Amino acid sequence: MDTGSLEKMDVRDPLNDLRMSEEAVPLYEHVKKFIAEEVEPMSIKFHELGEGRKDRWSYVDGQLEMLEAVKNKAKEQGLWNFFLPNAETGEGLSNLDYAYIAAELGKNRLASECLNCSAPDTGNMEVLERVGTPEQKEKWLKPLLNGEIRSAFAMTEPGTACSDARNVRTQAVLKDGQWVINGEKYYASGAGDPRCKIMIVMVQTDPDGPSHQQQSQILVPIDTPGVEVLEGMQVFGKDDAPHGHMHIRFTDVKVPEENILLGVGRGFEISQLRLGPGRIHHCMRSIGAGEKALDLMIDRGMSRDAFGQPLARLGGNLEKISRARIELEAMKLMVLKAAKAMDVLGNKEARVWISMVKAMVPERVCKIIDDAIQMHGATGVSQWTPLADMYTSQRTLRLADGPDEVHHMVVGRNELGRMGMKKATKG
Amino acid sequence: MDTGSLEKMDVRDPLNDLRMSEEAVPLYEHVKKFIAEEVEPMSIKFHELGEGRKDRWSYVDGQLEMLEAVKNKAKEQGLWNFFLPNAETGEGLSNLDYAYIAAELGKNRLASECLNCSAPDTGNMEVLERVGTPEQKEKWLKPLLNGEIRSAFAMTEPGTACSDARNVRTQAVLKDGQWVINGEKYYASGAGDPRCKIMIVMVQTDPDGPSHQQQSQILVPIDTPGVEVLEGMQVFGKDDAPHGHMHIRFTDVKVPEENILLGVGRGFEISQLRLGPGRIHHCMRSIGAGEKALDLMIDRGMSRDAFGQPLARLGGNLEKISRARIELEAMKLMVLKAAKAMDVLGNKEARVWISMVKAMVPERVCKIIDDAIQMHGATGVSQWTPLADMYTSQRTLRLADGPDEVHHMVVGRNELGRMGMKKATKG
Amino acid sequence: MDTGSLEKMDVRDPLNDLRMSEEAVPLYEHVKKFIAEEVEPMSIKFHELGEGRKDRWSYVDGQLEMLEAVKNKAKEQGLWNFFLPNAETGEGLSNLDYAYIAAELGKNRLASECLNCSAPDTGNMEVLERVGTPEQKEKWLKPLLNGEIRSAFAMTEPGTACSDARNVRTQAVLKDGQWVINGEKYYASGAGDPRCKIMIVMVQTDPDGPSHQQQSQILVPIDTPGVEVLEGMQVFGKDDAPHGHMHIRFTDVKVPEENILLGVGRGFEISQLRLGPGRIHHCMRSIGAGEKALDLMIDRGMSRDAFGQPLARLGGNLEKISRARIELEAMKLMVLKAAKAMDVLGNKEARVWISMVKAMVPERVCKIIDDAIQMHGATGVSQWTPLADMYTSQRTLRLADGPDEVHHMVVGRNELGRMGMKKATKG
Amino acid sequence: MDTGSLEKMDVRDPLNDLRMSEEAVPLYEHVKKFIAEEVEPMSIKFHELGEGRKDRWSYVDGQLEMLEAVKNKAKEQGLWNFFLPNAETGEGLSNLDYAYIAAELGKNRLASECLNCSAPDTGNMEVLERVGTPEQKEKWLKPLLNGEIRSAFAMTEPGTACSDARNVRTQAVLKDGQWVINGEKYYASGAGDPRCKIMIVMVQTDPDGPSHQQQSQILVPIDTPGVEVLEGMQVFGKDDAPHGHMHIRFTDVKVPEENILLGVGRGFEISQLRLGPGRIHHCMRSIGAGEKALDLMIDRGMSRDAFGQPLARLGGNLEKISRARIELEAMKLMVLKAAKAMDVLGNKEARVWISMVKAMVPERVCKIIDDAIQMHGATGVSQWTPLADMYTSQRTLRLADGPDEVHHMVVGRNELGRMGMKKATKG
């Protein structure tokens, strides 16, 4: 794939039209209105109610009810499941259109869930929709699309570097028509939610097979005997209960043979499909966080004086603000272009674009938030601003869905390939 | 001006359609063909001929003749003066369309000149076209548009930090209907060319006026008595003769009162007009240099082995390649968007976009070239690759047309203003 | 002050002998032994006991008793109060010697307290010892030196940028022989401890005086009516109870006139004395954290494989390790030299050295820890390594005791002064 | 080797006494006086005389005579050859003492040569002194020690990445008692000088041997038939004539069997000896360049105003100045410690220290010079300051004597080894 260089600059490159489609605009406006009028008032009550709960890994009476009420309204109004790009079951939104909407969803922590567009359900539904059997769809996709249950994706393992797929060590062995699973996973996000019923688990089915055919993905109901949720993993001391990032042990967990997805040895292949809305969504939210941090940085910088000037004008602070603005604008264009690349080239061909923005965005947003913290003095690390939380969650994104290094490897190798191609063409 | 934040993300923002217009495509293709078929063969001969010349500040017999021949062909074919954006006298190209063409022009050192689109004539013609009197246009714009003479812009002074306009010290005093000019300018690019006939000179006309009305711009024929070209300024040891970056002294230089442009005290205002094609052109060429450096870096990295691997795969090299690709793609989008902003918002409103790309591009291209040098070992600093030259010329761009710091100041201040505006709106 | 340049490189510069003095070696060895044999076993029990406590802002029965027992042993063995540099009441340790010991103290969270060398008591005792009246010493220094009470330093305010001393807004007005104090302070470290009895509070006594004579420092017993401890400030979500970083409101708090330290208007002057062991101690602990992070980074990097190699050898990781080692060695030498500068030049003259290391160390240690986190993948941000905690505490140090920017300002201004001096000398 | 961590911090580490020895002080003072009184006046005349020469690769009548006169004075006064550390033939200076003197030598381009301490002769003499046979010493070391001839070291090849010793491709085959050499070398510094008579050439003698025994070093008189000096290699456009960095082709060059140094297959071993004064010298000169750049940056920053302030106080400039000062102080301590490490641990054990400073110093000095350029505006890249030249020569040092990457590899691997060692010890 050629990511495009000046040399071969295509003046009519469709990837360079980064505007939302006309058709999506009404939906976009509707979503904004719905969040403002329905989600926001509810979410304030929802969090107040949950604050005092004794068991951090559960919901308090009334919480889920108010959430369901808003979900039902959304469903009725057709604001539902539109994360599925170009799919029959969804709104048929393009990734580019969805990217703009994702930016809106990122502004309220419950917005995605209210519209049934929240991770990791989105990725799981996308996978089921694309590769699930009719039975799998009936049993798991349907309730997920209806927002009746939630799900988790168990990929990363505590014992190995899972950025290399060959390192998957959780084993699934076929025995008497059942897969017997043994191993450990951690940072299975969402597995702490009492409504989480199903997990997609990455397992090793053929340790001796070719590198990228050793793995499979398999459906494991969370209440299967042998599934043990050990503890909530923390992120800089926060456990994000009750959603959670769970550490799970599988001991002789048995599921039917037909729970495998797509086929034995195709786990890696499925991973490559699972690129879609998830990462674009994450990146748009990251940029949103960056914008918020910059706003806070400027607000603080203008409201505090030292040495006879507002902080924002002291020393290198104005340049930091300028650099933040430049990075934010560049990131927005890059993420929109990556979304457009998914629409035009397909997820597989667009993977280099996705790796580019995944390697680019969280790292630079971390820098912006860090600068905003510094502008706030001690208040920047305190409970009085969201900056400390924003920092730790963006920092964690540099590790989630592949660490930066792996994405740079993808981009770098593509460059080497591009040049190889060029030479071959010349010769 | 709002540079646009996620918060106010305009999903129909016309600035996000970065494709060349359909109408410009034929011209673009024509230009590419002309460069390949006419400019390139000529330029090889032109440089060979010039190599042995004794007086570095002149042309050898035959050089200008072959150049003129190609210029005439270009004129005949209508490939002429299209740098003038949306102007009656030019092709009426948008800045965005021109940006794509500028990338092509950047590949051959004579291409711009052959199509009468080369700096600093472009900026000077743009200014004359916009603010010149009919007499000024007749006398200077016409021969410039015809490619009969060349010109220079004398702005920077050796004695003060001219990034602050108030520091202009070259004085022009009106006496008996004549401006009498005294002072020094340096890095007046193009003033070394024997065909350079006219300079636009930034002068101080009212030292006690308001900050931005102290300066005027004035037309000074280079052969006016009292104009003394002292020496060619160097850039990391290169003098770029015969074009040159000249150090000029003005001693009691007298020009008619009507040589003033636009009006007394409006020099700063003219500067703000002079943003147009010039900086976009520069930035597109910089990106072209970055692309070339990356290609060289990869080529070298794949063709040399050490410690059992190609250099490109050793240590952090692959990540450097990836980061270069990401930066290049981001810069391309940003420069195209800045060009589009000029088309949609006008030069003045687009100035923050121009400052963003001016502060962004040369600095990052320097980093890419520097990494490419490192990949080449000692060859990277030698005469065997263009990298050393590319580095020094990109490094110089971080100082030309306002140092990075000044552009960051423009962007930073705009951010402060944006937030101030927001508060005011809320209140 | 000349920080020393090559040009004036003094080949016999006593600051370049960075070895511990022979006399201090036995004490150093004794401290190490005492920590290993007494502090460490106790501290494990201490923390276990404290874990389940209901009131996070108190100690559980038995905790303080075991702490006191070890403190008494330390006192008996003469391992007590040696933080006081060159002072009659202390061990007379030089700052350089203390720096080496501080590195040892940094390895166990209770070690400093067991030897009565823990912040902020150390700074408070240092100030009292130097500028206290006999009565102040009797009342507060004595029990502090005996380890009977603890103390706090209330400097930073939530409402202004206190890096500029003129921004102190907590007011103390003399009325009927009493200071009446009104205002707010936050991040008063240690004020949460039930044993904390006394605070040194920075107040504004003369809003109209010269910039650096507006402030005074004043002794305020924490149980004075009107002192209200509002809440524990957090650091990336941690409140460090029961030590705490408290937010305190002063409402018409009255203390006797003689509680002022040194004299009215001399608050800033006292601050400059308070440089001594504190910052060196902090920096040595930071370097210790950096060393630990590097060890963890290497351990992890060697024990996990991906793409056929240990992580430590993948991509740019080995270079990151090398850069960490280089930074650590450079920082050690710089901190030791700053300590030596305090010994040789005195605290005041050494302040540029102290600013140099304060601006240098926490920022670079943050980078090392951040790289270590990245090498660990998701485990790096989890509760399974100390890295996340280490990061947040080092990040906070970039704001405590003056943000990096203020220290760079001190160093930068000194450079400008150095050059001015040079010119003056030449002239 | 343990480079020393806090954990094992040796409080009596002799490496931490970085003062010059008392015995060396008189020599140091003598050298300073000699440079001021003898070298400087001569060098001004020397360069004036050379300026107009027609053949850039030769000296003008009188130039060498005045140089020889000063060399003779130096020899008479015992200021001669003291670069040889701890050697019988030299002054027996320690590397640490020499480091201080090297800083002085770095201030005048002819100073080293006047005292017979100039590269690459120093390294060549060091090698001959340590491993030469009596015949080799008589024939080549003696005239070198007497300053009668000059020499070159031909190591790097244009066709391969010589940072990996196994890539040496210049072949030497033993035939009839003679080595027959074929291949190409470039950047052989000093080989352009008409006085250069002898080269030490790194050759491959056993392509199939173990990696580090494939190479040998061999003495090749420059006038041997088949030695062809092709051209002077440039460094950012400068050829440094007549010293030069030459590109040399060897075609069937025959030298006697006994011209081999130390023994066949020991070329790599000799390279490791050749660490001594050379790199410390380079690094001290780099630091000197950094100090000079900082002085220029401050001078310019204080003498130009913009936007109502001196440039030095505008925006982030003061912080840049502070960071430069901090880096310079840290680098000085590190280089002195590396020199001390060579004295205490020997060249081989100290190699990690040498790699640390080689990877640290030129990169950071480049940054300081680059910041100084930026502070100067266009003047910074012009012929009016030495900054452009300083930048290009420091940039080149990041490639000479092993690129930064190779030194980071050495340091990084040592860290991995250190931790391995620690584990082994624990087990």
Taking residues B178-206, report their average pLDDT: 97
pLDDT confidence bin for A89, thresholds 50/70/90: low
For residue B8, pLDDT beyond 60: no
Comparing CA positions, the residue from B278, B305, B426 lying closest to residue B375 is B305
| Antiparallel, parallel or unpaired: β B196-204 and B150-154 | parallel
Place of tokens 């000296």: D59
- Asked whether the beta carbons of residue B14 and residue A19 sit closer than 8 angstroms, the reply is yes
Mean pLDDT over A130-149 rounds to 96
In chain B the domains, ranked by start, together with CATH numbers, are 14-118 (1.10.540.10), 150-267 (2.40.110.10), 275-426 (1.20.140.10)
The whole-angstrom separation of Cα C59 and Cα C195 is 10
What does the pLDDT look like over C158-201, one tens digit per residue?
999 888 888 999 999 999 999 999 999 999 999 999 999 999 99
What is the overall mean pLDDT for chain C? Answer: 91
pLDDT value of position A12: 67
Interchain CB distance below 8 Å, D329 and C294: no
| pLDDT for residue D88 | 56
A318-328 per-position pLDDT tens digit: 999 999 999 99
Residue environment code for D197-235, b if the CB has 16+ CB neighbours within 10 A, otherwise e: bbbbbbbbbeeeeeeebbbbbbbbebeeeebebeebbbb
Residue C383 confidence (pLDDT) above 70: yes
Nearest to C272 by CA among C188, C209, C354: C354
* B236, two tokens: 């990391």
Q: SS3 for A132?
A: coil
Greater pLDDT, B427 or B110: B110
Contact A158 C379 (CB under 8 A): yes
Count of H-run helices and E-run strands, chain A: 14, 9
Spell out the residues 6+ positions from residue C171 whose beta carbon is closer than 8 angstroms to its own: C181, C182, C183, C203, C204, C205, C207
Contact A87, A141 (CB under 8 A): no
Considering only residues B289 and D345, tell me which one the structure prediction assigns the higher pLDDT.
Answer: B289
What separation in angstroms does the CA of C105 have from each of B216, C145, C215, C293?
68, 18, 34, 17
Backbone angles phi, psi at D215, to 5 degrees: -105, 150
* DSSP secondary structure, A151-201, as one string: EEEE---SSS-TTSGGG---EEEEETTEEEEEEEEEEEETTTSTTEEEEEE
pLDDT, residue D277, reads 67
Query: Has residue A277 got a pLDDT over 80?
Result: no
Asked if D319 lies within 8 A of A319 by C-beta distance, the reply is: no
Residues of D in contact with C333 (CB under 8 A): 16, 330, 333-334, 337
pLDDT band of C4, cuts 50, 70, 90: very low
- Angle at which helix C95-105 crosses helix C276-303, to 10 degrees, equals 40
Residue C389 or residue A11, greater confidence: C389
Side chain identity at B106, as an amino acid letter?
G
Comparing A206-215, B166-175, C269-278, which segment has the lowest mean pLDDT?
C269-278
Tokens 């003066």 — which residue?
B81
Which pLDDT belongs to residue C51? 85
Q: How confident is the model at residue A420 (pLDDT cuts 50, 70, 90)?
A: confident
Beta strand ranges found along A223-283 (DSSP E)? 227-232, 245-256
- The H-or-E segment that residue C152 falls in is strand C150-154
Residues of chain D under the 50 pLDDT cut: 1-7, 427
Option in C20, C299, C330 nearest D330 (CB): C330
**How far does A426 lie from chain D, in Å, by closest CA?**
23
Which of the residues D369, D381, D409, D411 would you substitute to probe the B interface, choosing the one with the greatest number of B C-beta atoms within 10 Å? D381
Confidence category of residue B5, pLDDT binned at 50, 70, 90 = very low
Using CB atoms, pick whichever of D3, D323, D412 lies closest to residue C318.
D412
Which partners does chain D have (≥3 C-beta pairs < 8 Å)?
A, B, C
Of A113, A152, A148, the residue nearest A244 (C-alpha): A152
- In D279-338, the residues whose Cβ lies within 8 Å of chain B are 304-307, 311, 314-317
DSSP string, B144-204: HHTTS-EEEEE---SSS-TTSGGG---EEEEETTEEEEEEEEEEEETTTSTTEEEEEEEEE
Task: Please report the ipTM that was assigned to this predicted complex.
Answer: 0.94
Write the pLDDT tens digit of every residue in C306-358. Answer: 998 999 999 999 999 999 999 999 999 999 999 999 888 887 788 899 999 99
Q: Name every chain A residue with its beta carbon within 8 A of the beta carbon of D319.
A: 315-316
Q: D246 and D152 in contact (C-beta within 8 Å)?
A: yes
Size of interface C-D (CB pairs under 8 A): 191
Q: How far apart are CA A140 and CA A151, in angstroms?
A: 9
Token pair belonging to B365: 């291209």
pTM for the model stands at 0.95
End-to-end CA distance of chain D: 19
Cα–Cα distance, D231 to D247 (Å, whole number): 5
Inter-residue contact A83 to A99 (CB < 8 Å) = no
Predicted local distance difference test score (pLDDT) of residue A323: 98
Q: Which of A77-86, A121-130, A245-254 has the highest mean pLDDT?
A: A245-254
Cis peptide before A242 (omega within 30 of 0): yes
CA distances from D193 to B194, D58, D188, D401 (A): 39, 7, 11, 21
Residue A288 near residue B5 (C-beta atoms within 8 A): no
- The 3-state DSSP class for residue D178 equals strand
For residue B180, pLDDT over 80 is answered with: yes
CA distance B374 to A283: 32
Tens digit of pLDDT for each residue in C143-158?
999 999 999 999 999 9
Chain B residue closest in CA terms to D406: B315
DSSP class of A182: E
Question: Which pair of structure tokens corresponds to residue D418?
Answer: 């250190």
Two tokens at A42? 């509810």
pLDDT of residue C419: 81
- A157 CB neighbours in chain C (<8 A) are none
CB pair distance less than 8 Å for D3 and C333 = no
Mean pLDDT of C366-374: 98
Residue B274 and residue B131 in contact, taking contact as beta carbons nearer than 8 Å:
no
pLDDT of residue A286 exceeding 70: yes
pLDDT of residue B158: 95
Spatial CB neighbours of D36, under 8 Å, sequence gap ≥ 6: none
DSSP per-residue codes, A399-426? TTTS-HHHHHHHHHHHHHHHHHHHHHHH
Inform me whether the C-beta atom of residue C419 falls under 8 Å from chain D C-beta atoms: yes
Dist CA B352 CA B368 (whole Å): 25
Q: What is the 3-state secondary structure (H, E, C) of D380-397?
A: HHCCCCCHHHHHHHHHHH
Helix (H, G, I), strand (E, B) or coil at A20: coil
3-state helix, strand, coil split of chain A in percent (to 5) is 55, 15, 30
**Mean pLDDT estimate for chain A:** 91
- Name the strand (E) or helix (H) holding C221: strand C215-221
Neighbours of chain A (3+ CB pairs under 8 A): B, C, D
Instruction: Kindly state the tokens that stand for A397.
Output: 């994104």
* CB-based burial label for B236 (10 Å; 0-12, 13-18, 19+): buried
Task: Render the burial of B117-128: b for 16+ CB within 10 Å, e for the rest.
Answer: bbbbbbbbbbbb
- Percent of chain C topping pLDDT 70: 93
pLDDT at site A6:
40
